[in-house]
Each structure stands twice: as structure tokens, then as C-alpha cells.
């Protein structure tokens, strides 16, 4: 298991990818020096060709090239992705499950909708929302990931860093 850095050391990033069509995607990253993302240090976007056509169960082949285009390779402490890290307690991988092997840091997944087999996902209520987000993780426990998401900056259901990454990926 990958250890979560003690305190706020290194770079914390939140990422999202938006597919404009089958031939191009816009990836976005929001970086901060603390895991709450209270102050954004910088942002970056990149237009990239998806790595592979969509195939059920192998979405990571399409997503990873876009993430590589925006995630820095060094000084990382943690990555937060929009979506599930895995889909069931047996760790059937999603894109977020391949990121720890790529970067060697914990990954926290924040999904907006429930997935039937993701019974291990923590339900986290943020702000005044009556609808939870669903948190999964690789490299740290789901309980620790849920605490991280609960503490992330923003008064809305989705943490501000992921909302900004989504807006940047959609060019809004």
C-alpha cells in the first residue's frame, strides 16, 4: 500500500478529462500545496488524442494518455480523480486504479453517481447537499480518502478543485 504523506508535503492535484469527440480530449489539472486545495497553486490544460478507442473495462487505455499530459511526474503527494478508482470490493479497476502504478502516489476517486457494484465506496455528504459523492481510493484507505474529500475546499457537493478541473476540461 502507498503511504499518505504526513502533513501537507508535495503537490496535490485534481484532474478531469473531457472528450470533444473520438479524436481529441482536453485534460485539466488543478494543483495545490495542501490536500484541502484551499489555495490553487496553478492549473494546466492540454489537448490530446485519446490513447485508444473506448472499450468496456479498459477505459484507462483511453484516459491515461490525457492524464499524462497534465499531471507532473515529480513531487506529487496525491491525485484526486473525477470518478471511481475501482468499481467493486475486488478492485475491478477504473482509470484511477492505474494511476498509482503510473505515479506512485495515493489516488482518491470522487464519483457523482452510485455504481451498483461499488458497495465499498464511502458516501460523503458535503456542504448542504442531501446527495452524497461516492469516494474510492488506491494507496490509502477509503476511510482516509473520505476524510480528505470531506475536508476539501468548497461549499458544494463536489469539491472546488474538481469543479474547476471540470470547467477547465470543458473549456468553460
Residue 146 belongs to domain with CATH number = 3.30.2170.10
For 118, half-sphere exposure in the C-beta direction (CA atoms, 13 angstrom radius) is 23
23, part of any domain: yes
- Whole-angstrom Cα distance, residue 75 to residue 153? 22
Rounded to a whole number, what is the distance in angstroms from the first to the last CA of the chain?
Answer: 37
Nearest-CA neighbor of 2 among 136, 158, 88, 106?
106
- Would 6 be classed as within a structural domain? no
Please report, in tens digits, the pLDDT of each residue of the chain (172 residues total). Answer: 333 344 457 999 999 999 887 788 899 999 999 999 999 999 999 999 866 665 555 555 667 888 889 999 889 999 999 988 877 676 655 555 566 677 889 999 999 999 888 889 999 999 889 999 999 998 999 999 999 999 999 999 999 999 999 999 999 7
In a domain, 131, yes or no: yes
Asked if residue 1 is part of any domain, the answer here is no
Asked whether residue 104 is domain-assigned, the answer is: yes
Q: What domain range includes position 159?
A: 11-169
> Does 5 reside within a domain?
no
Q: Which residue has the cell 507532473?
A: 72
Q: State the total domains in the chain.
A: 1
Amino acid at each position: 500500500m502507498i503511504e499518505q504523506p504526513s502533513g501537507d508535503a508535495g503537490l496535490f492535484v485534481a484532474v478531469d478529462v473531457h472528450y470533444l469527440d473520438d479524436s481529441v480530449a482536453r485534460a485539466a489539472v488543478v494543483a495545490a500545496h495542501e490536500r484541502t486545495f484551499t489555495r490553487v497553486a496553478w492549473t494546466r490544460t492540454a489537448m490530446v488524442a485519446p490513447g485508444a478507442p473506448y472499450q468496456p473495462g479498459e477505459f484507462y487505455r483511453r484516459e491515461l494518455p490525457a492524464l499524462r499530459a497534465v499531471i507532473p511526474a515529480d513531487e506529487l503527494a496525491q491525485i484526486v480523480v473525477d470518478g471511481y478508482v475501482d468499481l467493486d470490493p475486488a478492485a475491478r479497476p477504473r482509470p484511477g486504479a492505474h494511476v498509482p502504478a503510473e505515479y506512485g502516489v495515493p489516488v482518491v476517486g470522487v464519483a457523482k453517481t452510485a455504481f451498483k457494484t461499488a458497495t465499498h465506496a464511502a458516501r460523503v455528504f458535503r456542504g448542504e447537499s442531501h446527495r452524497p459523492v461516492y469516494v474510492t481510493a488506491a494507496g490509502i484507505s477509503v476511510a482516509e480518502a473520505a476524510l480528505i474529500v470531506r475536508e476539501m475546499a468548497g461549499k458544494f457537493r463536489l469539491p472546488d478543485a474538481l469543479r474547476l478541473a471540470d470547467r477547465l476540461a470543458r473549456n468553460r
